[in-house]
């Protein structure tokens, strides 16, 4: 990388708050990510944001006639999304899941790439159904698509990346894919691990244990999150 070359940064986030009508976010984390990629567009920073295309997004809370709150979900269709023509495949529970890649810069943002499993090729269309779904296997599947699928999408789109920026731990499996790539090219695990550490940046807006996820190793292995690596 030359001295006058700004690094190309792949930015992974589970949610993006770009507009109230674009149901890709739940709260502060999404607003942070949305502002980040709008600001990057304003100053011409080479940020490439990657996320998931949520069919129903996060809940809309309603109040019934008795004053009780309840959650409601809708299937959303967005006519401003551009079909990139790119599809990538990840494995979830040893099954191929095809991820369609959409793109939008509709809100004054850097072009945002969104992975979508709700396509005819999949029986696992549920993966990108609801942001912050309610069971652990679903969450890991979403993180496989975001992390592993996100790296594969960058490769399929032909976008060169210098740095991989993870907004919270949701994209951690992207690092596992980067390690796998290097090992398939002949590196040892130790070499691939050390090289990957040098190109990954992690930020969190909730730096406490209660604000971050954990998953049992058995479940991660069963879901395919190890991505070809052994438990060791």
Does residue 113 belong to any structural domain of this protein? yes
How many Å apart are CA 40 and CA 190, to the nearest integer? Answer: 34
In this structure, is the dihedral angle defined by the CA atoms of residues 156, 157, 160 and 166, taken in order, positive or negative?
A: negative
Say how many residues make up the chain: 232
How many Å apart are CA 72 and CA 81, to the nearest integer? Answer: 24
Give the closest residue to 170 by CA, choosing from 43, 34, 11: 11
Does residue 69 belong to any structural domain of this protein? yes
Does residue 2 belong to any structural domain of this protein? no
Full residue range of the structural domain in which residue 218 is found: 9-223
Say whether 164 sits in a helix, a strand or coil. strand
Digits of tens for pLDDT over the chain (232 positions)?
A: 434 578 999 999 999 999 999 999 998 999 999 999 999 999 999 999 999 999 999 998 999 999 999 999 999 999 999 999 999 999 999 999 999 999 999 999 999 999 999 999 998 789 999 998 778 899 999 999 999 999 999 999 999 999 999 999 999 999 999 999 999 999 999 999 999 999 999 998 888 888 788 899 999 999 999 999 999 9
How many Å apart are CA 26 and CA 16, to the nearest integer? Answer: 9
Give the closest residue to 164 by CA, choosing from 48, 11, 2, 7: 11
Does residue 230 belong to any structural domain of this protein? no
Number of domains in the chain: 1
DSSP 232: -
Longest CA pairwise span in the chain (Å): 64
Does residue 3 belong to any structural domain of this protein? no
pTM of this structure: 0.94
How many Å apart are CA 166 and CA 172, to the nearest integer? Answer: 7
- What is the pLDDT at residue 143? 97
- What is the pLDDT at residue 5? 74
How many Å apart are CA 200 and CA 182, to the nearest integer? Answer: 14
Does residue 231 belong to any structural domain of this protein? no
Does residue 4 belong to any structural domain of this protein? no
Residues 6+ apart with CB under 8 A from 75: 55, 56
- What is the pLDDT at residue 4? 52
Report the CATH number that the domain containing residue 45 is assigned in CATH: 3.40.50.2000
Q: Identify whether the C-beta of residue 103 lies closer than 8 Å to the C-beta of residue 113.
A: yes
Rg (CA), the chain: 18
Does residue 185 belong to any structural domain of this protein? yes
């Amino acid at each position: 990388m030359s001295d006058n070359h700004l690094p190309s940064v792949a930015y992974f986030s589970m949610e993006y708050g770009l507009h109230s009508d674009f149901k890709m976010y739940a709260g502060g984390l999404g607003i942070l990510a949305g502002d980040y990629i709008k600001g990057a567009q304003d100053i011409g920073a080479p940020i490439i944001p990657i996320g998931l295309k949520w069919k129903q997004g996060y809940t809309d809370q309603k109040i019934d006639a008795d004053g009780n709150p309840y959650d409601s979900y809708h299937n959303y269709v967005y006519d401003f999304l551009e079909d990139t023509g790119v599809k990538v495949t990840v494995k979830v529970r040893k099954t191929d899941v095809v991820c369609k890649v959409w793109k939008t810069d509709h809100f004054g943002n850097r072009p945002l790439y969104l992975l979508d499993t709700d396509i005819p090729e999949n029986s696992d269309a549920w993966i990108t159904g609801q942001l912050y779904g309610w069971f652990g296997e679903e969450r890991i599947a979403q993180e496989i698509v975001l992390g592993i699928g996100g790296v594969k999408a960058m490769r399929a789109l032909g976008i060169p990346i210098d740095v991989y920026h993870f907004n919270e731990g949701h994209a951690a499996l992207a690092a596992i894919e980067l390690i796998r790539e290097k090992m398939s090219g002949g590196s040892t695990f130790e070499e691939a691990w050390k090289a990957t550490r040098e190109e990954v940046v992690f930020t969190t807006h909730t730096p406490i244990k209660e604000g971050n996820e954990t998953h049992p190793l058995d479940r991660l292995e069963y879901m395919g999150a190890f991505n070809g690596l052994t438990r060791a």
